[in-house]
Amino acid sequence: MRKLFPSFAPPETWRSNDPVEKLDSGEWRKLRSVILQRDNFTCQYCGYHSKKYQIVHHIDGNPKNNSHENLVIICQMCNLVEHSGQGCVVQGVVDLYKNSNYSQNEIIQITRKMRDEGKPDKEIIEFLGLADKVDFKMERDYLSKLYGFVTERLSNDLTGMYNHWKIYHKQELRTRMNQ
């Protein structure tokens, strides 16, 4: 598994029309399909498998570097931590902490499992040993020493992919339980 830690995508590379056009192109959809198949629809950071809502992630943060070596599958939760500015500030669903009893990858895995069992954030945070909550700062060195926790709060972006994934994931859980 790849090591996960809070970070952010450089705004100067993502805030232009070029990447948006690229993401909408048939070429990108084909490449995305190849990477999803290659990685078996499985997040390369936490091992979460899903046929829907997985993201093809640019490891180096450069949306123009579409080499196969630079692309991996990342799940919605890991993506919110990897792009903490998006998770903390824009969507408002990630909290950052200075201390944890677990690695960032384990935090995601344990959080998903405990949330699937119906545990509230307070209980999960306590179990994980998350302590000393801090604010987001767009500084890689600062962020790399922190732990991101994806809360159960609804995203500020109510139409965003994360909220759609949460609904899909709950439906998948119910389907598995009924089988």
Domain ranges of the chain: 11-79, 84-178
Of the candidates 59, 65, 54, the one whose C-alpha atom is nearest the C-alpha of residue 18 is 65
**Model confidence, pTM:** 0.91
Cα 138 off chain centre by: 17
What contacts 10, CB < 8 A, 6 or more positions away? 61
The pLDDT tens digits of the residues spanning 36-60 come to 999 999 999 999 999 999 999 999 9
Question: Which of the four pLDDT bands, split at 50, 70 and 90, describes residue 83?
Answer: very high
